[in-house]
């Protein structure tokens, strides 16, 4: 299973239900990485999408604690167990966890690869992704050239879970 996220230097991902910054190349990478794949997200993240609609050309699985929550064109599950059962229909490498904070925390143990856009700015934030730099189970296996969007510097990083030899 993959995790895909854009974080600031403190591993923040959002503030008041919004992304911290919108970087066109990050969106392009996200689209290339997830199109035709399965995306797993929480209800609050779903509600930030344009028109509160599922992402096009992807299988959207929404994890929500609300028993009556439904979204046209998406599968809604209500527990981690139900989610993991739903994921059995797909290849693990085709599944991307896309947020928000609680979904990242719950599913990090299931992930082997993390695609991280690391933005070299500290923003005001109220939502965070677990810090993989502080987690000894993870290591950086790929790092892009430095990217710049206006005055924002960032890197595309690939983290992989270390496997015990």
Fold designation for 2-161: Dihydrofolate Reductase, subunit A (3.40.430)
pLDDT of residue 163: 80
> Tokens representing 26?
């990050």
Q: Could you list the pLDDT tens digit for every one of the 165 residues in the chain?
A: 999 999 999 999 999 999 999 999 999 999 999 999 999 999 999 999 989 999 999 999 999 999 999 999 999 999 999 999 999 999 999 999 999 999 999 999 999 999 999 999 999 999 999 999 999 999 999 999 999 999 999 999 999 999 865
Domain ranges for the chain, please list them: 2-161
* Residue 74 DSSP class: S
What is the maximal distance between C-alpha atoms in the chain? 47
Q: Measure the CA angle with vertex 116, ends 108 and 2; round to 5°.
A: 40
pLDDT of residue 165: 56
Residues in the chain: 165
145 Cα distance to chain centroid: 21
99: helix, coil or strand? strand
* Residue 57 DSSP class: T
CA distance linking residue 152 with residue 119, whole number of Å: 7
Residue bearing tokens 């919004």: 18
CA distance linking residue 90 with residue 110, whole number of Å: 14
CA distance linking residue 34 with residue 143, whole number of Å: 19
CB 98 within 8 A of CB 114: no
Buried b (16+ CB within 10 A) or exposed e, 132-149: beeeeebeeeeeeeebee
Sign, CA dihedral 47-43-154-144, equals: negative
Cis peptide before 66 (omega within 30 of 0): no
């Amino acid at each position: 299973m993959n995790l895909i996220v854009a974080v600031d230097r403190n591993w923040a991902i959002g503030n008041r239900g919004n992304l911290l910054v919108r970087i066109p190349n990050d969106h392009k990478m996200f689209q290339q990485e997830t199109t035709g794949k399965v995306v797993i997200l929480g209800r609050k993240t779903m509600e930030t999408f344009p028109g509160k609609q599922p992402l096009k050309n992807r299988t959207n699985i929404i994890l929500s604690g609300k028993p009556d929550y439904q979204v046209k064109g998406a599968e809604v599950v209500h527990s981690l167990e139900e989610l993991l059962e739903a994921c059995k229909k797909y290849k693990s490498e085709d599944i991307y966890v896309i947020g928000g904070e609680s979904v990242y925390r719950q599913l990090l143990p299931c992930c082997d690869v993390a695609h991280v856009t690391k933005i070299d700015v500290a923003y005001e934030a109220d939502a965070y992704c677990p810090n993989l730099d502080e987690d000894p189970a993870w290591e950086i296996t790929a790092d892009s050239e430095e990217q710049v969007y206006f005055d924002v510097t960032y890197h595309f990083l690939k983290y992989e879970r270390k496997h015990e030899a």
